[in-house]
Structure 1
């Protein structure tokens, strides 16, 4: 019997605050491009920025006409927690973690009462050095299995990308036939929003 899926599920569903603490003694990433990318975002800690949809080829408009805010809310040498607010929806938090073999990106999705959504802690891990300004996170095995369970197997092909430049931060998701990107203006910090749901 393979015990790893259960271990992965338990780990991913653990409290993000506990996960934040558990990374304290993890090995540091030694690849310069990973460290430089991580540190550029960390330098924005406690700041919030407004964004705009740059590309969204989906038919739905769940993000249309809503204020989009990223808040680099909590940072240490191992992990960054970045809530992504969509209008009044404070359900999303991006979590970037140094794993010892690269960088991990997870999406913590919560309900308003703080409980985890069924679709939570999906994401991916870097497979190469990337660049100081750009890192890619192809979907990991946990995410692929979760997407199949949720009835959206096409999402197993997801790759998430983050771009960090002096004037702009971008979050992008791509797969065959699907692209979404939101750009945040780093030149105009705004008032930080309230804590995201569950935090």
Structure 2
């Protein structure tokens, strides 16, 4: 092989490796998003339902508090309290290709609910302010097994406007749930631990 062909082959291989590495590395926007979420660690904030789906009337009438309770370089755990119900925790973590959102649902005795650990991975870089998580294969299988196949099309999203608001959102055809938390007024003292974390 001539020297010029060897150079072209080397450049082609290097370009391929760079493309593969880029496809398997969280985007800078995702790093900034996770950093903004982790910056809230230790604090709790009150929120309100801002969507208008009738299915959420009971939740809209409850006190809603998120608590950014546990943070590492690769994972942030955010219990979401609905009144006295401490069954829900959002878990945002890094993957080789982006970010993952899972919903950890527990009973009061700490055992897992039959509908738990569902969520999804990012499929696009998103922005430093908003990340979307379409339902993954595991979640679709769980929803179908629980006879709620409509949830297999769920897309969850989180938004952060640093120093202003945090948003959790769920969308699918015919369904929209959105709750907004006020980051300007931390709740003190923070709420008790979620069920299963005592």
Aligned equivalents of 2:168 and 2:100: distance in 1?
Answer: 14
| Counterpart in the other structure of 1:193 | 191
CA contact (8 A) 2:38 2:76 kept: yes
Change (3 A) 1:92 1:182: same
Matched, 1:182 2:183: no
RMSD over equivalenced CA pairs, Å: 1.2
Alignment counterpart, residue 168 of structure 2, candidates 166, 171, 190: 171
Query: What per-residue deviation string (whole Å, max 9, x for no partner) do you get for residues 95-130 of structure 1?
Result: 001011110000000000000000000001000100
More helix by share: 2
Query: What per-residue deviation string (whole Å, max 9, x for no partner) do you get for residues 146-193 of structure 1?
Result: 000001000000000000002010000000000000000000001210
CA contact (8 A) 2:78 2:91 kept: yes
| Counterpart in the other structure of 1:5 | none
Give 5+ residue unaligned stretches, structure 2: 1-23
Number of aligned residue pairs: give it: 172
| Counterpart in the other structure of 1:95 | 91
CA contact (8 A) 1:110 1:198 kept: yes
With normalisation by structure 1, the TM-score equals 0.84
SS for the counterpart of 2:152 is helix
Aligned equivalents of 2:175 and 2:66: distance in 1?
Answer: 22
Give 5+ residue unaligned stretches, structure 1: 1-27
Moved over 2 A (4+): 58-62
Max Rg structure: 2
Alignment counterpart, residue 112 of structure 2, candidates 110, 116, 123: 116
Cα offset for 1:29? 4.8
Matched, 1:37 2:37: no
CA contact (8 A) 1:49 1:190 kept: yes
With normalisation by structure 2, the TM-score equals 0.84
CA contact (8 A) 1:29 1:35 kept: no
| Counterpart in the other structure of 1:141 | 137
Alignment counterpart, residue 69 of structure 2, candidates 67, 73, 77: 73
Q: After alignment, is 29-38 or 99-108 more displaced?
A: 29-38
